[in-house]
């Protein structure tokens, strides 16, 4: 995280609320990912925070991109085409995967000209792709265990293992090219066994597909879920990578391309929120602070991402357990009901939340007329 005095200077210059993005930290996170998973190409999950500046930084570092909507696709497209001619020439569209298994027909029609790589998990999607994006390459999304994930995804997406090969062959029969498999073990997954089970399942599907006559699959997308170090209960990334590498090397030969879709891991620790205390009250004997950002804005991950963000003061003082509320009139706008903060903080003082880069500012609204926090990029 940035030094506290620098955060204070940014707040003095730009006002609050602020969402500060540290691009040096993004580059460090990407480098760590590549160091420990050298065989895996990182496709940054743009939905985690779709700011064009982040896309540019990761592209220059060597990342590819996972998009889940056509607007996200355009963010990547427009950002890359604005780089140098040399970079535009180097950029090829197989550097993007459209990893939303369910796509509107209008989206498929818009994507088709780019010959995209898209995921699917059911026969209706095969029919849509055949009609509206016949030039797409396909990856079958498998349903896998999400045990221990902060956000579970397999109840919404993923083909059952028993129908996987039939779906692949149905797509091939329709004249489409199935390039491989994908899965997602759930967001912020601290149960490493999810990856072990999913990689083994994928290897079995590869084997059965070949045995049934189709041998053109050459990629495996191991999805996202790589946990951000929110606290000391999260095991080091290198431990997870060691587990993944062991299974990949054992089950998949070097000619199989391995993809992943890290979002949270890339940017969670690169974002910091800075807010101002706008109100203070004691309710039922409990000290309450009101700040100028909340769950309809940067702290939306409390609701949508099942995440808790700690609020910290810039100075020390005798602490007590406080409630911290956002600025809107909605009683849902609660950042924390149990935060240890100095009891003598005054109106106008600042608070901050580290490690808030993922699935936070991306979901900001204008509820009650309050705009999203101002974004400030540093170390670009």
Q: Look up 288 and say whether it is catalytic.
A: no
Residue 250 burial (10 A CB sphere; 0-12, 13-18, 19+): exposed
Residue with tokens 């149990």: 338
DSSP 315-374: S---EEEEEEE-SSS-TT-EEEEEEEEETT--TT-EEEESS--SSSGGG---GGGPPPPE
Q: Are 114 and 137 in contact (CB under 8 A)?
A: no
Residue with tokens 């995440």: 307
Task: Please tell me the number of Cα atoms within 13 Å of 214 on its side-chain side.
Answer: 22
Choosing from 288, 307, 322, 329, the catalytic residue is 329
| C-alpha span between 71 and 185 (Å, rounded) | 25
Q: Encode burial over 154-176: b for 16+ CB neighbours within 10 A, e otherwise.
A: beebbbeeeebbebbeebbeeeb
Q: What is the CA radius of gyration of the chain?
A: 22
| C-alpha span between 350 and 292 (Å, rounded) | 10
DSSP 220-273: EE----PPP-SSTTSPPHHHHHHHHHHHHHHHS-TTSEEEE--SHHHHGGGEEE
Q: Are 347 and 278 in contact (CB under 8 A)?
A: yes
Three-class SS of residue 175? coil
Q: In terms of Cα–Cα distance, which of 239, 243, 307, 240 is closest to 273? A: 307
Residues recognised as catalytic = 329
């Amino acid at each position: 995280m940035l030094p506290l005095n620098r955060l204070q200077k940014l707040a003095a210059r730009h006002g609050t609320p602020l969402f500060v993005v540290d691009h040096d930290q993004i580059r460090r996170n990407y480098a760590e990912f590549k160091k420990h998973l050298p065989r895996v190409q990182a496709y940054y999950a743009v939905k985690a925070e779709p700011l064009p500046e982040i896309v540019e930084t990761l592209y220059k570092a060597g990342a590819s991109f996972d998009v889940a909507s056509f607007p996200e696709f355009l963010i990547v497209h427009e950002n890359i085409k604005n780089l140098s001619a040399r970079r535009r020439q180097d950029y090829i569209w197989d550097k993007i995967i459209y990893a939303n298994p369910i796509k509107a027909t209008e989206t498929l029609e818009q994507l088709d000209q780019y010959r995209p790589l898209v995921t699917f998990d059911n026969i209706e999607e095969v029919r849509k792709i055949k009609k509206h994006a016949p030039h797409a390459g396909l990856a079958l999304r498998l349903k896998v265990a999400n045990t221990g994930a902060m956000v579970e995804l397999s109840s919404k997406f993923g083909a059952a293992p028993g129908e996987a090969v039939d779906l692949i062959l149905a797509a091939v029969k329709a004249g489409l090219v199935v390039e491989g498999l994908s899965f997602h073990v759930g967001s912020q997954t601290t149960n490493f066994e999810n990856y072990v089970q999913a990689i083994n399942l994928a290897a079995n599907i590869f084997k059965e597909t070949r045995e049934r006559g189709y041998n053109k699959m050459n990629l495996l997308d191991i999805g996202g879920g790589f946990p951000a170090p929110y606290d000391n209960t999260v095991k080091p990334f290198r431990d997870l990578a060691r587990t993944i590498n062991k299974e990949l090397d054992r089950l998949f030969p070097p000619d199989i391309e391995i993809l992943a879709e890290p979002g949270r891991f890339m940017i969670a620790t690169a974002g910091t929120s800075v807010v101002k205390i706008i109100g203070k009250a004691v309710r039922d004997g409990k000290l309450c602070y009101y700040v100028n950002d909340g769950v309809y804005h940067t702290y939306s991950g409390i609701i949508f991402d099942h995440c808790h963000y700690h609020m910290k003061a810039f100075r020390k003082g005798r602490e007590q357990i406080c409630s911290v509320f956002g600025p809107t009139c909605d009683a849902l706008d609660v950042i924390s009901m149990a935060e240890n903060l100095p009891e003598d903080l005054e109106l106008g003082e600042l608070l901050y939340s580290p490690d808030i880069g993922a699935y936070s500012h991306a979901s900001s609204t204008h509820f009650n007329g309050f705009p999203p926090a101002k974004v400030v990029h540093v170390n670009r």
